[in-house]
Amino acid sequence: MADIATIEQRILLLRGHKVLLDSTLAELYAVETRVLLQAVKRNSNRFPDDFMFQLTKPEFDNLRSQTVTSSWGGRRTPPYVFTEQGVAMLSSVLRSPRAVQVNIEIMRAFVRLRRMLAENTELQSRLDQLEDHYDQQFKVVFDAIRKLMIPAEKTQNPIGFIWDKTHSKKPLKGQQK
């Protein structure tokens, strides 16, 4: 059975939802994808659009371009994806002991991702507060740095060699006086 870190790596963000592909879930549950989808279709009333949806052709093409598949193998139809609620509902459709254990691990992975996201949001908020607070104190420093960043005006010297005949003392070889 896959550990939480492995499951977290397989969670995708599509249409603003954290989801798992049907093939990923089938692999975790140790069943064929078609068997998983048959069970879902027999219980379609338990899977509204916010629990499960099928990818559009452009989404599928984009997803396929990010993974390496052979030109003659792989699936030909867009996959279904399951949100956290859809995965929870799968436990009522797939009743094997393995399905129960896998669902527990998947739920833990979703919860861990949610916690990490919340911590990241809190950290960003604190950084914004610090920046606002210290902006006033370091205004002089920031202004000085900005002044140093302005390039100095240059006076342009002509490019090349300028030869003044009046200062020449002796003629060059081959020249006449």
Cα 123 to Cα 117: distance, rounded to the nearest angstrom = 10
Q: Which domain holds residue 106?
A: 4-114
Pull the structure tokens for residue 85.
């609620």
Amino acid at 7: I
Convert the pLDDT of each residue in 22-79 to its tens digit.
999 999 888 899 999 999 999 999 999 999 999 999 888 888 877 655 455 577 889 9
Inside any domain, residue 170: no
pLDDT digit string, tens, across residues 114-135:
888 777 777 667 666 666 666 6
Residue 56 lies in a domain: yes
Inside any domain, residue 53: yes
121 inside domain = no
The number of distinct structural domains making up the chain is: 1
CA-to-CA distance for 20 and 3, rounded, in angstroms? Answer: 15
Position 82 pLDDT exceeds 90 = yes
In this structure, is residue 157 part of a structural domain?
A: no
- The model carries a pTM of 0.60
